[in-house]
Amino acid sequence: MRPLSLLPEYDAMFRGALDRLHQERRYRVFADLERQAGRYPYAIWHSGEGKREVVIWCSNDYLGMSQHPKVMGAMIDAVSRMGTGAGGTRNIAGTNHPLVALEQELADLHGKEAALVFTSGYVSNEAGISTIAKLLPGCLLLSDALNHNSMIEGVRKAGAEKQIWQHNDPEHLERLLRAADPERPKLIVCESLYSMDGDIAPLHRICDLAERYGALTYVDEVHAVGMYGPRGGGIAERDGVMERIDIVEGTLAKAYGCLGGYLAAGTNLIDAVRSYAPGFIFTTALPPPVCAAATAAIRHLKASTAERVRHQDRAARLKSVLTAADLPVMPSESHIVPVHVGDPEKCRAASDLLMSEHGIYIQPINYPTVPRGMERLRLTPTPYHDDALMDQLVHAMMKVWDKLHLCYRRESGFTRGHEAP
């Protein structure tokens, strides 16, 4: 019988791969956290030394919807009526009714004819971009330089020619479009809100160019849906360009507090992706309770603006208290509040000290997620982070900054001040 562990020569290869990550200072450690329903943003941290209550400051559950009574209620109700799993791929098991309702809700949210739900935002980008491009013979993909890995993988998998345009630079995009064969199908791929810097794409200008040069637009609204626009339709809704975007991609896992990703677009495009995308066809559908909960979250945020107003207020206050304390807040146009550290080990050390000495959880963001030298703490205040929590955070960060001799704002070069969210 084979021993349970790998053969030593194979094991050595995995060890070697891990050693490389350690040497490059890129090895990731995940905190063991237990979220507390009804007590957002508090969680229990399970560390080697036991359990401790901490405050989460970096969650993408941006509005705390994962703990909203309507969302939890919808999930519990669906579990009791339908059980947990979906029972298979949609081809085999059919579509559970809550998923039909969810797709209708999403199509309506984005003012599109149809929507298609995937098991995650990652899969929706990878499967969506690659399938759409493959169905357009000779397609040229024009991708923003800072697009998320899931979009990069979608572009790569498409196997089509790609050109990368400089981040949020419509002039560069136009140069590429102008040089391209006018007869050729073109797909412009970008995000609406970039989650590491909190900057926002010039969607109006991108749509103008798409119309002028006959290109399709594919916009990832993962970090904006639920949070921007009068009904939470994202930056495209806020900026009044929703009907000019051909394909909207989003997630149910961030502002909507659940799991899953989706595309919203015209009927034929959605039907074609449904029929051709392996990442959609050959995997089990989302569980009905998750679909029911996501639908409840979307419906609530379509009607209620209180969460969005409070969210923006919290982001503005956090930027202003950090700036007043001379902490190096990087410029951001949105609810994302990055604080510059500029060194991977110091970034990890700052995160560790905040957690162990102050009960504050902020994951360090290091290369390759951001360029080397741009390592940071990325804060995401939610409607539940009150003034007292913010004051406690600033006090703790200053202690950590002093202890590690980190640069304050004036020394760091980030003196432009924050822009209003």
Residues that bind ligand PLP (CB under 6 A): 120-122, 125, 148, 150, 191, 195, 220, 222, 251, 253, 261
DSSP class per residue in 69-107: HHHHHHHHHHHHHH-S---S-HHHH---HHHHHHHHHHH
Question: What Rg do the C-alpha atoms of the chain give, in angstroms?
Answer: 22
- The residue (of 187 and 253) whose beta carbon lies closer to ligand PLP is 253
114 contacts 270 by C-beta, under 8 angstroms: yes
DSSP class per residue in 340-377: E---HHHHHHHHHHHHHHH-EE--EE-TTTS-TT--EE
265 contacts 248 by C-beta, under 8 angstroms: yes
Q: How far is the CB of 365 from ligand PLP (least distance, A)?
A: 12
Which residue's CB comes closest to ligand PLP? 121
Residue 222, SS3? coil
Instruction: Report how far residue 359's alpha carbon sits from residue 377's, in angstroms, rounded to the nearest whole number.
Output: 15
Q: What's the token pair of residue 170?
A: 């419509």
Q: How far is the CB of 4 from ligand PLP (least distance, A)?
A: 33
Sign of CA dihedral 337, 341, 345, 348: negative
DSSP at 35: E
Based on the residue annotation, tell me whether 134 is a catalytic residue of this protein: no
- The residue (of 64 and 185) whose beta carbon lies closer to ligand PLP is 64
Among the listed residues 70, 157, 162, 254, the single catalytic one is 254
- The residue (of 13 and 282) whose beta carbon lies closer to ligand PLP is 282
Q: How far is the CB of 151 from ligand PLP (least distance, A)?
A: 7
- The residue (of 260 and 421) whose beta carbon lies closer to ligand PLP is 260
Amino acid code (one letter) for 126: E
Q: How far is the CB of 120 from ligand PLP (least distance, A)?
A: 3
- The residue (of 75 and 390) whose beta carbon lies closer to ligand PLP is 75
Residues that are catalytic: 254
